[in-house]
Structures are given as structure tokens and as C-alpha cells.
């Protein structure tokens, strides 16, 4: 057991939590007097100082000036991309030693626990956009290791949009709102985005992921994530191994339908953030297992894809994923701005045992992230901000800049000195100092692509398509139709259809028919391979933390309903009781339940399943309409529905339906267990 693990076991806290304690302040409570930031007690915080009762405000009102001028500066520039997000703390625990491939301290001893901070985000939209936009998600993890911080910046897709960092600004410009009108927000459903896509076809694989269900996750807790870049592991003998990482959610990978995502974005734009907080509050801590894919140095060129190309994934069937540890997120931030908004992640923040490759995107990212945060946070002292501080001692010669709280008392602030015996001193690699892998580099200066496979835009796009089940292929087509339906230029729509015929001609032909362009003349690339790991039907399915709406009024069967609710809660299902009014609902046998939501302030798309109980209500007609609305919406979104003996009138068999995934309590002694099984399945795609 390492020192950090012993510390956690003894105190119940990790080093990062303990470090942050010194920065936490409470401004409210008994005996708390209002003061200025300099400590002056304030006698009036409501009215400005004026020359006479009805006169002008005086410039000498220092309290007003300081209060207003601070307020004027409370907002910092938002991130260019990944502006909307949220962060939480947790811990990573190592399952198995990776000493044979890396000397990174936190990957040495099984059971080693490392504090982490994780930020989830959307890519395109601004801070005021919606959580459920069709978009790629960020999943950035800061490991507070015993050798300094290590930042792992992952995305919810296994592939990236460009092959070289040079093109990233163009991609962002294209997908952002139109520069003339500043619309639309948080979507690529516009001409510029699709014009870029059609004319930069290396993005094809990325767009296939974006148009799939992975572009609209059910929850951050149910989202895979990949850093997409290729790194090196370096062991204590200096041997290099190529590595890619992946986070796999313990709950499996699950998504929203396009219709659900669009509706939720309007009725609850904070859907994913609310979901994260609710899970942590209930003790259902989000968990993710960390996997690594390893390629020996000598095997760099043995594959039909270039391992440095970020528009290509490493298929798990070709390069297996080895699960090495688990991360558990268990604590929200205390202050959103101080911690989440000021958090900074940088791919160049690594520790000994992890190094860069010549991945063209990684090379650019290793510069860009820190540089943009120097601008956004307005200081060179990014790592002085508490959330970004490492938990290890720091000694350095950088000085000054904004937000400098550290008081350096040394008179010497330069390296190679005699006055301080040349301290702070360098640490040789054999004692833990960071040293880059001595890769041999030779050749002429060039802007050539690293290999010929960088010209292959469609083989893995086709692999992705081949890996999808029929229902997901239909989802992809519908998502293309939705986005291209907003594109005004017929030429752009035609170019897109012709482009994606390289992925699948039948798919492109169906899309063409829906968006009023000619069917494509070309055909798809001759790739028949598939990857079962990409098929979301193969992901784990659980009832645990699924949200069930209980639709209920007075007069319910208390014994039956309370038994079902006990079963649901025992299985970790999240239950919301929805009725006409908040407060107590009384059953026919005197049983009482508390309604925590009302029909007028919630929506069926916010729930994974329904338990339809029914009952009596003061506004009977409206009550019946509300229940039927919930039932119809859940049914058309393929969600499981449990029906109490008192709720059978709301859903009945007919020639137009098959009631797949509808579980009835009547004459069913195993209703509770059957309903839980249906909740775990989550969607019933064969429903009609």
C-alpha cells in the first residue's frame, strides 16, 4: 500500500480534499458580519451615497465603486470549445500493476488510490446552451499523483475530426454559429458545417460517430470516452510501448433518441448536470473502468491503419483493451466558478512513465491547451488556482503575473546560481526527474502526411457502419436527415450524399431521397469487417439508477404499490412520484405516499420508464390526459412501462400494437421482478 492509500484509509479523505480545506470559507451564519474584501464592516449594502435625499450619487462612495467594479469583472472569457460543462471529484484505484510497461507511480501498486477531478462538457455550444445537443462530449480527468498532476483529456468518440492540429481552427469555425448571424447554437445543422464536412473528407469517420446514438448520451455516467491520441508508456528500463486509453462506464453505454434529446434540451437544458448531482447525492457514485490498448514499439507499422492517425480507432478485436483500474466520482465541487470554471487541463501535463508520440494532433494539442488558458484565465499562474494545484511540493523560478497568491521569499529566482547553491536543483531521471523518450528522428522538413493510410478516409467509417445493428443504422439515417434538412444549399447536400456513399451507398441513397438531391453515383469502399465492441447492444444493461416516473392519484392499492416501490428501490432504481399536486397521496387502504413532482413541471422524456398506477384526482379530466400523454410518449420511445392493477385502462392491446416491454401487475405474482427486468433492458425496439 502506498502513502496516499494509507492516508485515505486513516483519515477518510484524500490529499486533494485536505489541501482544498484551507481555501474553503463560509460567509453566512450566526455572528457573520458583512465586510468588504479588505475586512471593513459594511453599514449599508442597499443604497448608494448621494448628495441629498434625491441627489446624484457621489464618486466618493467607495463601497459602491468596489462592489460594482468587482461585479463588472466577475465573468472571464468562456472556453472557445467545451464551454458548457461541469466537474466533480473522485478517486482512481489501480487494479493491477503496469510496472512492466510504465514507471508512472500511480500505475505501480494494485490498490493505489489517486485523487481525481473530472470535467464533462459539450464541444460546440456556448455556456448557455443545452446538455443534450447532438455533439461530442469532453471527459477530462486530472490525476493528483505523487509525481505531480497528470491530465488525461478524453472525448466520447474513439476518433477525432482532423488528422493534423493545423486544421482544428477551421473545423471549429465551421461548426460554430454563422459569423454573420450568430445562429444556430450548439448544432451542426447548418450550411457552413456541412460544407466543411463535404470538402474535408478525413472527417467522415468522426461524423459517423456524431450521427450515431453516441452523439447524444443518456447520461455522463453512461458514456465511454477515449483520449484519441497515441501516447507512449516508458518503463524503468527505458523501453517504450505505444498506448491508447479508454474509460468504460460500469453502467454500460446508453443513449437518448434524437427526438428525446431535442425535447429535453428545451424542457431541461441542465439534464446531464442534474443527473450527475442526483446520482452522487443518492450514493450511486458514477464509476468508470480504465482500459489500455498496448502496441509494442516494434509493431508500429504492422496494422492496416496508422497508429498515429487520430481519425482511426484501434479496433478492440485487433488491439485488445486491458482493464487496469476503476475511477469513482463521489463529490461535487463546493463552488462552480472557483473549481469547475477555473479548472484547466493540458495534454502536455504528464508524469514520468508517460510521454508523447509524433501523433500530429497531439503535437498541436500539447501547445494549444495551455496557451488558450493563459488567455482565458488571464494569468501565467494557472496552477496556483486551488483546483489545479498538485498535491506535491513545488519549487520553481517563475514569478509574478496575475493571481499570484504565493509569497516567494527567496532573493534568488534563476537557475545556475551560487548564492543558493544552485537550488532548486534538477532531479536526474533515475531519481524521478522527467526525461523524454530518446526517439530517433531523421528526415527533411516536410508537410507530407506521415503515411499513405492517412489518405484512407472511409475504411473505418465503413467498419463503424458494419458494426451497427439495424435499429442504430436507422437512427444514423434519421440523424443525417435531421441535420441536412436545415442545409439551404442543394449543392452542399448533394456533396454530402456523394461523400457518404463511400461509407454505404444504400444509406446515402435513402438520405438523398429525404433531402431532395440525386442518388449517389459512386459506391461504398469494399470493407466487410465489423467490430462487435462498437455495437451498443453488447453493452451492459442494468436497472440500477434508471429513473422511473410513478403516475398516481388518490385511491391506489397501497399494499401492491408500496411493495413494487420497495422492490424498485431495493434494486437501486430512482423513483419520482408524480401527481396533480405536491404533497400527500392517500391509498384506498390508508397508505400514504409523497408526490415530489407534478405533471405541470415535468415531462415524460425525463424518465427511463413509467409505473402507471392511476387513481382519483380533483381535476379528473386533466389528470387522465396527463397520464395518457406520459404513456403515449414512453411507448413511442420504446421505454418499459409497468402497469398496476388500477392502471390497466391507460394501455390496452390492439391490432396496432404488440405491447412489447409493457408489464402488467394483474394476475402476476412476479410483477416486481418482471418490471425490474424490463427496466434493465431499457428499450424494446421490436415494439409496434
Residues annotated in a binding site for heme = 119, 168, 365, 369, 376
Distance CA 29, CA 502 (A): 65
Cβ contact 453:304 at 8 Å: yes
Residue owning grid cell 507511480: 105
> Longest C-alpha distance within the chain, in Å?
91
Residue whose C-alpha cell is 398516481: 552
Query: Checking DSSP bridges between strand 609-614 and strand 113-122, what pairing results, if any?
Result: unpaired
Cell numbers 498515429 correspond to 308
Cell of 507: 444509406
Report CA dihedral (132, 137, 309, 473) to the nearest 10 degrees.
-30
- Cα–Cα dist 670/247, whole Å: 37
* Residues of the chain by 3-state class (helix, strand, coil), percent to 5: 35, 15, 50
Contact 116, 142 (CB under 8 A): yes
- How far apart CA 515 and CA 403 sit, in angstroms, is 53
DSSP 23-52: T-----STT---B-TTSPBPS-SSS--BSS
- ω into 513 cis (within 30 of 0): no
DSSP state letters, 62-104: HHHHHHHHHHHTS--PPPSSS-SEEEEEEEEEESS--TTT---
- Distance CA(491)–CA(495), nearest Å, equals 6
Decide: helix, strand or coil at residue 115.
Answer: strand
Residue 395, classified by CB atoms within 10 Å of its CB into exposed (0-12), middle (13-18) or buried (19+), is exposed
Query: Residues in the chain, how many?
Result: 688
Q: CB–CB of 76/83 below 8 Å?
A: no
Pairing of strands 240-249, 113-122: unpaired
C-alpha cell at 90: 473522485
- CA 415, chain centre distance (Å): 41
Name the binding residues: 119, 168, 365, 369, 376
How far is 252 from 231, CA to CA, in rounded Å?
A: 26
Nearest CA among 427, 246, 457, 441 for reference residue 356: 441
CA distances from 496 to 8, 203, 349, 511 (A): 54, 12, 38, 10
Cα-Cα-Cα-Cα dihedral sign, residues 74, 76, 82, 87: negative
Dist CA 472 CA 662 (whole Å): 22
Amino acid at each position: 500500500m502506498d502513502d496516499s492509500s494509507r492516508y485515505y484509509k486513516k483519515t477518510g479523505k484524500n490529499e486533494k480534499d485536505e489541501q482544498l480545506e484551507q481555501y474553503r470559507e463560509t460567509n453566512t451564519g450566526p455572528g457573520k458580519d458583512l465586510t468588504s474584501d479588505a475586512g471593513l464592516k459594511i453599514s449599508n449594502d442597499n443604497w448608494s451615497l448621494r448628495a441629498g435625499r434625491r441627489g446624484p450619487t457621489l464618486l466618493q462612495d467607495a463601497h459602491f465603486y468596489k462592489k460594482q467594479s468587482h461585479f463588472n469583472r466577475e465573468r472571464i472569457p468562456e472556453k472557445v470549445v467545451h464551454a458548457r460543462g461541469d466537474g466533480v471529484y473522485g478517486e482512481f484505484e489501480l487494479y493491477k500493476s503496469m510496472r512492466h510497461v510504465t514507471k508512472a507511480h500511480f500505475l505501480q501498486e494494485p490498490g493505489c488510490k489517486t485523487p481525481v477531478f473530472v470535467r464533462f462538457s459539450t464541444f460546440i455550444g456556448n455556456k448557455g446552451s443545452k446538455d443534450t445537443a447532438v455533439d461530442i462530449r469532453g471527459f477530462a480527468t486530472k490525476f493528483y499523483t505523487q509525481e505531480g498532476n497528470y491530465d488525461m483529456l478524453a472525448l466520447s468518440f474513439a476518433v477525432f475530426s482532423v488528422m493534423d492540429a493545423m486544421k482544428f481552427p477551421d473545423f471549429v469555425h465551421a461548426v460554430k454559429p454563422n459569423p454573420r448571424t450568430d445562429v444556430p447554437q450548439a448544432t451542426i445543422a447548418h450550411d457552413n458545417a456541412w460544407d466543411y464536412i463535404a470538402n474535408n473528407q478525413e472527417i467522415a469517420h468522426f461524423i459517423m460517430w456524431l450521427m450515431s446514438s453516441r452523439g447524444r448520451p443518456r447520461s455522463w455516467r453512461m458514456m465511454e470516452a477515449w483520449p484519441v491520441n497515441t501516447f507512449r508508456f516508458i518503463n524503468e528500463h527505458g523501453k517504450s510501448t505505444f498506448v491508447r486509453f479508454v474509460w468504460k462506464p460500469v453502467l454500460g453505454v446508453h443513449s437518448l433518441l434524437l427526438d428525446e434529446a431535442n425535447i429535453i434540451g428545451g424542457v431541461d437544458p441542465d439534464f446531464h448536470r442534474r443527473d450527475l448531482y442526483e446520482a452522487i447525492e443518492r450514493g450511486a457514485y458514477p464509476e468508470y473502468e480504465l482500459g489500455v490498448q498496448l502496441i509494442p514499439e516494434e509493431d508500429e507499422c504492422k496494422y492496416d491503419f496508422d497508429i498515429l492517425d487520430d481519425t482511426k480507432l484501434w479496433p478492440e478485436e485487433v488491439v485488445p483493451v486491458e482493464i487496469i483500474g476503476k475511477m469513482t466520482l463521489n463529490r461535487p465541487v463546493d463552488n462552480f466558478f472557483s473549481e469547475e470554471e477555473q479548472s484547466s487541463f493540458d495534454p502536455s501535463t504528464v508524469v514520468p512513465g508517460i510521454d508523447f508520440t509524433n501523433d500530429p494532433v497531439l503535437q498541436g494539442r500539447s501547445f494549444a491547451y495551455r496557451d488558450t488558458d493563459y488567455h482565458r484565465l488571464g494569468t501565467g499562474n494557472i496552477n496556483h488556482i486551488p483546483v489545479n494545484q498538485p498535491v506535491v511540493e513545488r519549487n520553481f523560478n517563475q514569478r509574478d503575473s496575475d493571481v499570484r497568491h504565493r509569497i516567494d521569499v527567496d532573493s534568488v529566482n534563476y537557475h545556475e546560481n551560487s548564492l543558493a547553491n544552485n537550488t532548486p536543483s534538477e532531479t536526474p531521471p533515475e531519481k524521478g526527474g522527467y526525461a523524454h523518450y530518446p526517439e530517433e528522428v531523421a528526415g527533411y522538413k516536410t508537410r507530407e502526411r506521415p503515411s499513405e493510410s492517412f489518405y484512407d478516409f472511409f475504411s473505418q467509417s465503413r467498419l463503424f457502419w458494419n458494426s451497427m445493428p439495424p435499429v442504430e443504422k436507422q437512427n444514423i439515417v434519421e440523424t443525417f436527415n435531421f441535420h441536412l434538412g436545415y442545409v439551404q444549399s442543394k449543392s452542399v447536400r448533394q456533396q454530402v450524399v456523394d461523400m457518404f456513399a463511400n461509407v454505404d451507398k444504400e444509406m446515402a441513397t435513402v438520405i438523398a431521397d429525404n433531402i431532395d438531391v440525386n442518388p449517389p453515383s459512386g459506391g461504398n469502399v469494399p470493407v466487410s469487417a465489423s467490430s462487435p465492441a462498437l455495437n451498443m447492444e453488447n453493452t451492459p444493461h442494468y436497472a440500477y439508477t434508471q429513473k422511473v416516473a410513478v403516475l398516481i392519484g388518490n385511491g391506489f392499492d397501497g399494499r401492491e404499490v408500496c411493495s413494487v416501490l420497495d422492490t424498485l428501490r431495493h434494486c437501486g432504481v430512482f423513483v419520482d412520484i408524480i401527481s396533480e399536486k405536491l404533497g400527500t397521496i392517500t391509498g384506498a387502504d390508508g397508505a400514504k405516499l409523497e408526490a415530489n413532482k407534478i405533471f405541470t413541471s415535468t415531462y415524460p422524456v425525463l424518465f427511463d420508464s413509467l409505473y402507471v398506477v392511476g387513481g382519483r384526482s380533483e381535476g379528473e379530466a386533466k389528470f387522465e390526459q396527463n397520464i395518457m400523454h406520459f404513456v403515449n410518449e414512453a411507448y413511442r420511445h420504446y421505454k418499459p412501462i409497468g402497469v398496476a392493477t388500477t392502471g390497466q385502462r391507460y394501455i390496452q392491446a390492439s391490432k396496432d400494437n404488440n405491447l412489447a416491454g409493457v408489464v402488467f401487475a394483474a394476475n402476476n405474482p412476479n410483477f416486481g421482478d418482471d418490471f425490474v427486468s424490463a427496466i434493465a433492458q431499457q428499450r424494446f425496439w421490436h415494439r409496434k
